[in-house]
Chains A and B, each alone.
Chain A
């Protein structure tokens, strides 16, 4: 091996060793995880921003338990193997007392057993797959789960939009979109509506004409399309080209400024369910948006909000517990009744938050708040 490479490796090992000696009880150390590199990098960066903002605020107000908070952020790269590694690192190496994160459900599913075994509470930010919190009683989440969002979508389509015939199109390669569509179909049928077309498309395609032709022929009142914004914009455009006039509807994957940029007039008059709306007039929402914009110079998306909420929820639980011991924080989390940006958060028996969803309409190229739908028990 060349000497320089040896030198580089050695210096890194030393740097690593240095680190393990550091850290005292001057701080309350909290872990945060997000995919800041890899395919979901934009989600990770929003998540990190949300986490940072919450910690900075707490620190400005004197920290927690009389100590300053130190957040250690780790990159899971959107990969379960990397996720398992960084969760272990935060627990073993950084000795964190709780972990906030992560975004993608399959990465959270790799991290959850590690947190559960170490009795370190974990609050996933945007992992909507129901299985995540089923891992054990130390695993919580700040977002609503797939069944809730799909169900709310169906309720809104049937009751508010008076749709009776619905068509679905979704990404077969994505558990999130598939899950949402499944629960939408179940609820819509239960309410008395009819699913007239059910089409899956492969991940990464840009031409949806074959599926959309079949959908348009079935004459639906509404197309339920819980894809991510980039696919949605294309699907909306192509559906309009094929002569579909009604609204499209989707989930929180629509929440991006790019939806209107790519979709233009095709997404006009379409609806989606989301965690929060920036037009919500509650002071906690407006306050958060103002602070976030001042710090990061952009409007926070749902991932930033969820990370902010999850971090606040965790720090609040540490404060209530009066301790940095895992079991105490866990109990405090389970008993939370917290006024978060995405609504009041209480946990059910499966450690999923019971909270409301908002419906947003695209009007004149802007996201417009329509209504809040409270959870039905």
Chain B
């Protein structure tokens, strides 16, 4: 038996949670609402990036339309909760329904993942990328044309259910579940598909099954992430889930390291914080010097930093390595 390290992970997660909660207390005020919203966004991006990494980094497929899955999750869960809110306006008591809606959103996205997984059996590399890109756009255009969910105006009036605690819990479970999957025999099979499909097939890995599994599980968690995002912002619009957002996720995966869950977590957190701190840094520069630096320049610096990361760490920040905590040790004795 290997050491599964789940107790350690849980302990650290709970401690981290308590720390953030204490720091965000009004009486301490170290983390105000602004920092909390960045943390919440980072956590959601962790879910989205880790789930994309499962498809791109671990199963070795290529998805350029990952936000399409998130859109399905956002719209399915958003529609359910807005309907429930209309029927019974008591927000506080509807948390179980909310969690159910988020999971249903994930299931909706997983069904889409299943549908998309099939063409991936015949397509590879660039061709698969184009197909998934098309899929993302199809989702966006379909949403644009359904008046019931607001068309291009977006789905409005979504209740604000996504609190830090909820998002944190979902992120924790996502990381644990994907980590366990990757390090199970299924995960090994997925890695084998990535490394060499023919060889994997030869040693008896059902490549079809594992490619589709990668898409289904990845899409499920993307749907969860999308649902949480919609209930954080209280709005879901088709453009939010377009190609640009999908490409951004891909940047996170590459910057963190293909196939490394740790890398995805670091990248999602680091880059979300980076873009915000750049803005704060520019603000204070303007304050100190009295010269007004436009906030538009932050994007230039951000892009330059990304280029530097890719130049000096071609394989991403973590490469394919994992933090010790996320590795299930093989017992050899």
Contact = CB atoms under 8 A, between A and B. Distances in A.
Interface string A16-58: 1011101100000000000011000100100010000000000
Contacts, number: 133
Interface in B241-283: 270, 274, 276-281, 283
Given A91-B33, A173-B152, A15 B281 contact: yes
A22 B34 contact: no
B325 interface: no
B32 A172 contact: no
Interface stretch (A82-90, A154-162, A313-321, A325-333): A82-90
Contacts of A85: 34, 37-38, 41, 276
A178 B151 contact: yes
A81 B277 contact: no
B323 to A, nearest CB: 13
B240 interface: yes
A129 B151 CA distance: 13
A291 interface: no
A335 interface: no
Contact of B279 (A74, A88, A172): A74
Nearest to B31: A92
A172 B145 contact: yes
B144 A19 contact: no
B304 to A, nearest CB: 10
Chain B interface size band reads: 35 or more
Interface string A94-112: 1000000000011001100
Given A9-B274, A88-B34, A92-B34, A22 B308 contact: no
B270 A9 contact: yes
A67 interface: no
Contacts of A202: 141
Interface in B142-162: 144-145, 150-154, 156, 160
Interface string A59-92: 0000000000000111100011100111011011
Interface of A: 1-2, 4-5, 8-9, 11-13, 15-16, 18-20, 22-23, 36-37, 41, 44, 48, 72-75, 79-81, 84-86, 88-89, 91-94, 105-106, 109-110, 113, 129, 131, 172-175, 178-179, 202-203
Contacts of B16: none
B296 interface: yes
Contacts of B41: 81, 85
Given A5-B309, A131-B156, A37 B32 contact: no
Given A15-B285, A36-B296, A174 B280 contact: no
B91 to A, nearest CB: 13
Chain A contact residues: helix, strand, loop or mixed? helix
B237 interface: yes
Chain B contact residues: helix, strand, loop or mixed? helix
B235 A16 contact: no
B154 A106 contact: yes
Given A36-B294, A74-B279, A173-B144, A5 B308 contact: yes
A173 to B, nearest CB: 5
Nearest to B237: A106
A203 B152 CA distance: 10
A113 B159 CA distance: 11
The winner among B229, B239, B270, B298 for most chain A CB atoms within 10 A is B239
B151 A175 contact: yes
B153 A129 contact: yes
B314 interface: no
A8 B32 CA distance: 24
Contact of B37 (A88, A109, A174, A175): A88
A75 B295 contact: yes
Nearest to A77: B299
A201 to B, nearest CB: 12
A129 B235 CA distance: 14
Contact of A174 (B152, B160, B288, B296): B152
Nearest to A174: B152
